[in-house]
Chain A
C-alpha cells in the first residue's frame, strides 16, 4: 500500500496517522482544506507552489469558467465533425473568462491544493484601445452561485494575468513608447504670440540658471542680492549627480516648447522625463558637461525606463507564472475531460487559438508535453472499464466509483488496502478526512481528478513505491496508450492525439450516447429560417414526401430555428438544394405550390446549405442567440455560394417537375421514429430571441 498524503487546516475523526494527533481537538469534520489564493497572498503561494510542483509526481488541474456556450446552437451536437467541434471549443475559450484555477500537485507522499481566484484585470494600460470583454452565461453563473462561489473575492482580489503573446506585445509597446519619447522633439513652428513669448521667457530663465551654474562652478561666489532674486528662478536639484531643474507644472504644449527651446539653444542641457516615486512623471532639464556625459545620461535614463517597464510587465504576468511553472517543470498534467480547459489555458496564457485543431494541438504539446485525461483513461483502459461497470464518468460520479473511501469519508481503517490513501495538506497541517463539501471549487475538483488518477494507476498496476521521484510517471509504459489523448468531443468519442494531431474515434461500444457509428457529413443539409410551427417531424414529413420515404435518416434540431437533415444518400443533398432553388425561382406557379417542400419554404425565409457552410457559420466570431440570426449575420458568404449554385441548378430543371408528380404516390404515413425527444430537449433549451432579426 502506498499513501498519498494531503493536508488541511484542522482535523477530525480518529486518524490513523501519527502526525494527526495535534489536531485531535477539532470538533467536527472540517471542510476540505484548500488554499485560497488571491492577489494579496499570491507571491508567497507561488513560491510554495513552486517547491511542491518540483517535487510532484503529477499535477491535477481544473478550471471554473464564466460560461461554456455562447448560444444554444453552440452546444455539443452529435452531428459535429471534429473540426466543427474544435471551432465550438475555440469559441467558448475565446468568449468566456476563467475565474478560478485549481492546481493540485500530488506527490507519492502528499498533495497540496491551491485554488487561485483569477480575474483578467487590465493592469497595463498602455494603449487602452481594446478592452477585455468576456461573456457571462447566466446559467453558469447561477451554477457557480449554487456552490457558493465567491464573486467578490474573484473580482475584487482575483489575480490578473498576461498571456505570452500579450507580454510580447506589451514589451513592444513599451519600447515604442520609449523610442517615441526619446526621439528628438520634431521641429514645429512656434505659432501664436503667446507661444513665442513663453518660449522667449523660458529661454531667458533657463539660460540665467545655466549661467549661474557655470559661474558657481567657476568658483565665483554670488552676491546676496542675486540669491534672493533667484528664488523666483528655478531651484537647482540634482539628478544622477548632475545639476538639474524640475519643470513640472506646465502643460504638455508648454513642455514641448521648453523641449524645443533646449534643443535649439543649449547644447549642454538635456530634457528628460523620469518616473517619480508616486509613478508621476517628472520633467527635468539636466546639465551635462560634455557630449559623452550627455550620452551616458540618456543611456541611464533609458535603462531605467526599460527596467520600470519590465517590472510592470512582470507584475502584470501574474497568474501566468503558475502556468509557466507547470510548463517548465514538464510534469504530467492530469485533467478530467479537459480539452476545453486546455483550450482556455492556451487562449488565456499562451496566445490566441489557431484556426485548426492540428495547429492548436501542436502548440499546446510544445507547452505541456504530458497531459493525461482521466475520463479517457477510465473509458478506454480495459481494467478500469470493468471497474466503472459502465456507470457515468462525470467527475463526481467517477470519484465516488473509483475512490469511495475518500468520497464517502470511509475511515481509513475500514477502507481496504487496495485503496490509495490520500491526505490533503495545506500550509503545514495535513489531514485525511474531511467533509466532501467543496465540490465545484476548482481546487477541490482538481483534487478529485488527482485522486481518481492515483487510484486508477494503482488499479492498472503502477506501483508508486517502485518509482523513485526521478522517474517521470509520464513515461510509464502502462499509460502510454492513453497519455496525450484528449476528448475532442465526448458525445462523439472523438479523440485527438496531442503528439500527432491525429483524430481517432473511440471504437468501443461503451458510449451509449452515440447513435450513429459513422456520420457522413456530406449527407447533411442545414436548413434554417423555416416557419416556426414546423417541428422535426413535420420537416421530415415534407422532405420524405418529395424524395421518398427512405431518403431521410434523421432530422435534428440545432435550436428552434434550424435543423440538420441527415439524408441516406449524398446525392439527395444536391437534389434537395437544387429543388429548393427551383421552387424559389418559380414564383408561386401551381407546380411549386403543390410541391411538398412548399410547406417548408413558406414565408420565403427558408435557407439551406451544406455542411461546409455550417462550419463557416461556426467559425464566425459572432454569437447570435438563434442560429437563423447567426446564419443571416454571416450572410454574405452563404449568399454567394447559394448564387453560384443557382447556375448549376438550371440543368436540373426537369427534375423538380418529375418529383412533383411523384409525390402523390408517396405514402403519407409517417414512419418516423422521430427525434421527438431531441426536439423537446432543444425546445427546453431554446430561449427568447433577444437578438432582432434584421429586416433586409
Chain B
C-alpha cells in the first residue's frame, strides 16, 4: 500500500514557484510595515541564514562527540568570524492542513553607515561558500551595494554614546561636587551671553529684516538659525560644562530648548540653544526633535528592526539548525556571544522565548537521521513509509502524551506549497522549506501546532518546546557521510560518558581507523577489552572504552613512561599522544582552532601544563558528569 499512498499524500501538488519578497536597502523601509503585519498575524516565524562560511577544518564542525558546551564553542567561533549575506524570514501559520507563508529575503551587508567601525571591522569568507552562492546565482553586487546594514543592540548603545543624543537626557548633576570658581565664571559668562542674545532676538522681531543688520548681528552675537528658529551655540570643553550649561538653561525652560552637538570622536562638542516663540512652538519643536531622533535610530538599527519585531512578537522561531543560526543572530544583532552556553541560552531566551529546531524534531523520525540538507530532507520525508512513521511516533511516549487530537491517517497535509520545486535556488526559499517541513513534521508527529498556539501559553506542548529549545547539540551532525566504517558504529544504541573517550594523535597520517584498531589491539593489555575507534580528522582519532575507568587507566599509562611497554612504547616513541575529553573541551574553550585537532590538543595540553605549575589554585576545570556529557553512542 505504501507507494501508492505516499504518492497520494505527498506528491499530489503541482510544482509552483514561490514568490519570495526580496528586500534591499531601497525597499527596506516600506517592507517593514508589511512584515510587521505578517508577523503579527502568523503563528510561527521561520528563519534561515546564508553565511559566508561555516567551519574551516573538519574537526571544527559539530561532531557526535560534542557536548552542548563544545558545540556552542564551535558555533561561537564561526559566528564571530563569518558574516550573514542573506537573511530569510518567513512568518507562517498552519491551519488545519494549509500552510500560509509570507516569505521575505533580506540582503545584508555590514556597511559602516555611521563611520564608527561598526558593525564589523572585517569578516571571513570561505571561497567555497562564495563560489556555491555564485553558482546559485547570488548577486554579490546587489549585496554589497544595496545590502541593509545593521547594528546589534550592544553596538547601538555604544554608538549612541559616540554619536551623542541631540536631546539631553534629564540631567542628574551630582550634588556632591561643589561648583568651583571656574564653573561659576563659566555659568555667568554663558548666562549673560544667552540673555543678551535673547533680548536682541526679540527686538529684531519687531524690526524689519535688514540684511546688513542681520549679518552684523550674526558676527557679533554668533546668532544662527536652527531651521526657522534663531539659535546660539555655546562651546563646551568638558561634559561637566555641558551639565552646567544645561542646568543654567533650565531657568529659561519656557522659551529655550537645548540641543547637544556631538563631537567627532564622541562626547559633546557644543550646546545649541534654540529660541522658540511660544509654548506651542516649543512643543512642536520638541516633538520634531523626537521624530528626528527616532529616524536616526531606525537608520542605526537597520535590519535589526526585523529581529526586534520577531522578538517583540514572542512568536516561536522555527529554524533548521538552531544552534548555528542563533549564535549568528545573537552575535550580529544582540550582543557579543557570552563565554558559556548557559549564559547564551539565558540571554537568548529573553529575546526568543521559544525556538523550534526542525532538525531536532526530525530525530524523532528514524529514517531521517542521515539527512544532509533541506531539499533532501523534504524529499525523504516523502519517502518515509507511513507504517514506520506511525510506529515511530507511537514509541515516542512523551510526544503521544501531548497529542490530544487524533489525526486521521488519511488526512495528510496538503499545503499551499509543494516540495516538488527542486530548482528553488534562491535562498529565500529555504525559510519556506523550513516552515513546510515543520508543518509536515507536526502532522506526522501528530503535534497540532494550532492547538498549541491558540492557547494563551505559547505552545502548550511542553515536550515540543523542551526538546527544541535545548539546541540539541548532539544531533547536529546530519552531514555524516555513510562510509564503510560506520557499520561498526551503528550496532547498538549505547550511551557513552565523556569520560570514556580518549583522543589519540601522532600516529601518522596514513592510518585508517581499522588499521589503528588492530595496532592498538596488540599494543597493550588495556586494549584487550572492548573498545572502538574513529578518526576525527587525518591527524586525530577518538577512542571509546566501553568499560568505565579504562580510559583513565589508559591515560595514566600514557603519562607514565615506566608503565609503557611493548609496541605501545614503540608507538609513543614514534609520536603517539593521548588526551582526555577535558583537554578537548579546553581546546574549544580557549579558542585553539588549529587546522588539525592533534595540533590543537597539543597546544591545549601545553597550556594546561603551564596553568598547573603556575597557578595551581586556579585550575577550575571541574569534571561534570551531568547528563549533557552523556553522548549517544549511536550518533558517534
Contact = CB atoms under 8 A, between A and B. Distances in A.
Contact of A136 (B122, B154, B484): B122
Contact of B614 (A129, A154, A639, A694): A639
B123 interface: yes
Contacts of B595: 129-130
A636 to B, nearest CB: 5
A141 interface: yes
Given A67-B122, A687-B116, A680 B265 contact: yes
B162 to A, nearest CB: 9
B485 to A, nearest CB: 11
B130 interface: yes
Interface stretch (A117-125, A288-296, A425-433): A117-125
A686 interface: yes
A685 interface: yes
A358 B306 CA distance: 53
Nearest to A156: B134
Nearest to B122: A137
A129 B112 contact: no
Interface string B149-164: 0000011001000000
A252 interface: yes
Interface in A343-365: none
A690 interface: yes
Contacts of A72: 117, 121
A253 interface: yes
A138 B111 contact: yes
B110 interface: yes
Given A151-B140, A688-B119, A691-B80, A129 B537 contact: yes
A691 B265 contact: no
Interface stretch (B50-58, B62-70, B195-203, B269-277): B50-58
Given A132-B127, A135-B124, A636-B610, 12 more contacts: A119-B130, A130-B56, A131-B126, A136-B52, A139-B112, A145-B144, A253-B484, A633-B591, A680-B264, A687-B116, A688-B116, A695-B339
Contact of B110 (A67, A138, A691): A138
B615 to A, nearest CB: 9
B57 A129 contact: yes
Nearest to B82: A133
A689 interface: yes
Contacts of B339: 692, 694-695
Contacts of B110: 138
A134 B127 contact: yes
B297 interface: no
Interface in B127-147: 127-128, 130-131, 133-134, 139-141, 143-145
A132 B126 contact: yes
Contacts, number: 138
Interface string A432-443: 000000000000
23 contacts: A71-B122, A72-B117, A97-B127, A119-B130, A119-B131, A121-B127, A122-B128, A127-B538, A130-B56, A131-B127, A133-B126, A133-B127, A134-B127, A135-B124, A136-B125, A137-B121, A138-B120, A141-B144, A142-B144, A151-B143, A155-B133, A684-B264, A694-B590
A654 to B, nearest CB: 26
A134 B128 contact: no
Interface in A92-110: 97
Interface stretch (B17-25, B315-323, B330-338, B466-474): B330-338
B266 interface: yes
Contact of B606 (A129, A138, A636): A636
A129 B125 CA distance: 16
A643 B125 contact: no
Interface string A622-645: 000100000001001001100100
Interface of A: 66-67, 70-72, 97, 119-122, 127, 129-139, 141-142, 145, 150-152, 154-156, 252-253, 625, 633, 636, 639-640, 643, 680, 683-692, 694-696
Given A130-B595, A695-B339, A150 B141 contact: yes
A136 B121 contact: no
Interface of B: 52-53, 56-58, 80, 83, 110-112, 116-128, 130-131, 133-134, 139-141, 143-145, 154-155, 158, 264-266, 331, 336-339, 484, 537-538, 590-591, 595, 606-607, 610, 614, 618, 620
Given A133-B126, A139-B112, A688-B119, A121 B131 contact: yes
Contacts of A120: 127
Contacts of A633: 591
Contacts of B338: 692
**Nearest 3 CB-CB pairs, A to B?**
A687-B117, A151-B140, A137-B122
A252 B120 CA distance: 47
Contact of A142 (B112, B128, B606): B112
A688 B141 contact: no
Contact of A690 (B80, B111, B139, B607): B80
Nearest to B339: A695
Contacts of B143: 151
Contact of B58 (A129, A133, A154, A686): A129
A150 B111 CA distance: 17
B487 to A, nearest CB: 9
Contacts of B614: 639-640, 643
A133 B606 CA distance: 27
A134 B125 contact: yes
B131 A688 contact: no
A584 to B, nearest CB: 14
B123 A136 contact: yes
B484 A688 contact: no
A151 B141 contact: yes
B122 A133 contact: no
A422 B35 CA distance: 57
A97 B124 CA distance: 10
Contacts of B620: 696
Contact of A640 (B123, B130, B610, B618): B610
Contact of B120 (A119, A122, A152, A690): A690
Nearest to A67: B122
Contacts of B57: 129-130
Given A138-B112, A643-B614, A692-B336, A685 B140 contact: no
Contacts of B266: 683
A576 to B, nearest CB: 23
A252 B126 CA distance: 31
Contacts of B120: 138, 690
B155 A688 contact: yes
A127 B510 CA distance: 13
Given A156-B134, A639-B614, A129 B122 contact: no
Contacts of B56: 130-131, 133
Given A131-B128, A145-B144, A252 B484 contact: yes
A534 to B, nearest CB: 15
Contacts of B590: 694
A636 B117 contact: no
A72 to B, nearest CB: 7
Interface centre among A119, A127, A625, A687, by most chain B C-beta atoms within 10 angstroms, is A687
B124 A134 contact: yes
A155 B538 contact: no
B610 A687 contact: no
B122 A135 contact: yes
A197 B80 CA distance: 54
A131 to B, nearest CB: 5
A687 B83 CA distance: 17
Nearest to A689: B336
B370 to A, nearest CB: 16
A155 B58 contact: no
Contacts of B607: 636
A97 B618 CA distance: 42
Nearest to A150: B141
Nearest to A71: B121
A694 B589 CA distance: 9
Contact of A119 (B127, B336, B606, B610): B127
